[in-house]
Structure 1
């Protein structure tokens, strides 16, 4: 089985990382950057539109 990940980028501190979509809240829920603790909708942390679509489909 192929592991699917999404890429994230914090809009405040620019930390970038990747994780599995199932480990994240839905795109409209609040998410907190593990680096600077900025709080925004999860969708705002998605690096690309494709990552956002993956989150919506598999998250």
Structure 2
């Protein structure tokens, strides 16, 4: 079975990438962009509401 992946988009540098929910910190945690190192809540990096819902489902 394929594992779900969510699309992420940095609010500062617009870097776009994909991760599996298990590779990401918990929902209320601060996350750092691997490109520009901007720090935001992980939910602010979710590209779409669908990605956010998938992330919450697997947390």
Please state how far the C-alpha of 1:26 moved relative to its aligned partner. 1.7
Q: Structure 2: which 5+ runs fail to align?
A: none
Query: What is the count of residue pairs matched by the alignment?
Result: 59
- Where has structure 1 moved over 6 Å in runs of 4 or more? none
Q: Where in structure 2 are the equivalents of 1:1-59 lying within 5 Å? A: 1-59=1-59
| Gaps in structure 1 of 5+ consecutive residues | none
> What's the offset of the Cα at 1:16?
0.2
Give RMSD over aligned pairs. 0.7
Return the TM-score normalized by structure 2: 0.94
Please give the alpha-carbon distance, in whole angstroms, between the structure 2 residues aligned to 1:26 and 1:50: 17
Given that 1:27 and 1:43 are in contact with CA atoms closer than 8 Å, whether structure 2 keeps it comes out as yes
- How far apart are the structure 2 equivalents of 1:12 and 1:57? 26
- Range that drifts further, 32-41 or 18-27: 18-27
